[in-house]
Every structure is written in C-alpha cells, then in structure tokens.
Amino acid sequence: MLTIDQIASTPKAQVAAAAQLGSKVLDSAEQLAALNLKTGKAVLSESATYVQDLLSVKSPQDALALCSGAVQPLAEKVAAYSRELYNIASGASAEFNKAANTQAADVQKQIVAVVDNALKNAPQGSEAAVAAVKNAVSTASAAIESVQKAVKQATDLTEANITALAESAPKAPTKTKA
C-alpha cells in the first residue's frame, strides 16, 4: 500500500524536475543569445570590411574575384553557426529526454507498485485475472522501452549524419600574400 509520504513525494519530485528543466531552458536561451550576439558582431565587422574592400576595387575582374573569394568563407561560417546551434539544441534535447525517461521510469514503478499491491489483495480464484493484469503491465513496459530505444537510435543516426556532413564540408583555402 502507498504511504502518505510516498504520495506526497511525487509532486515534490515533479516540481524539482520542472525547476531543473526550467533552468536548462534558460541556460540554452542564454547560450543561443550569446551565439547570436557573437555572430551579429562578426557579421557587422566583416560586412564593413567587405564593403570597404569592394569600394576600393579598380576593375570588374577585381570585384568578381572579391565576390568569389567571399562565398567559401561565408558558407563555412554558416556551417559553423549551424553546428553551434545544433549543439545547443541537442544539449537541451538530451536534458529533456533524460528528464522524460526518468519521469516515465518513476511513473512506471509507481504503477507496478499499485498493481502489485492490488493483486496481493485479490480474492481467491482470480489468478487468471491477476496473470492477465501482470502480462498487460509487462507488455506496456516493454512497449515503452522499445519506443525509447527507437527514439535514441533515431537521435544517434541524426547526430551521426550531421557530424558526417560537417566533416565533409570543404575548408576555405588559405590566402597567401604574393
């Protein structure tokens, strides 16, 4: 049988979990704001330099060379920004998944405890019903674990694909002064 302390501890644990997730949300928002400020400052500075360089060209060929030379570094910066953004999002997602899995496991334990307690007090002759309930709980637990494994595999595959994409991105040629 569940005790008053066990019943009272459930909301306390949920409030603590919610506070922890709220803190993670704020941390992620702070990281995102810092990333965006850093990116904004870099774009402003680099744009000013680029416009100065563009205004100082003497021929259309020089302008074309300047524009062509800006494409690759820009693509790399976009890729770097995307990687950092993905890292922030995946970190937050991992925390949420961890909290959700913990909560699901706790709820599952509580359900099993309630069912076990109820089955202990089952009347004589209800063994078939008891077995059916135990089987249903076991099947539901297995289904939950299966879904959690599938989500983890999908997440791992996505991370592997993003990592492979980032590693395959071409690097900017180094400039040599003549």
pLDDT tens for the chain, 178 residues long, are 556 666 666 677 778 888 888 898 899 999 999 999 999 999 999 989 888 988 888 998 888 888 888 888 888 888 889 888 888 988 888 888 888 888 878 877 877 777 777 777 778 888 788 788 888 888 888 888 888 788 888 878 887 887 777 667 655 444 444 4
Q: What is the pTM of this model?
A: 0.63
Cα angle 22-23-29, degrees, rounded to a multiple of 5:
90
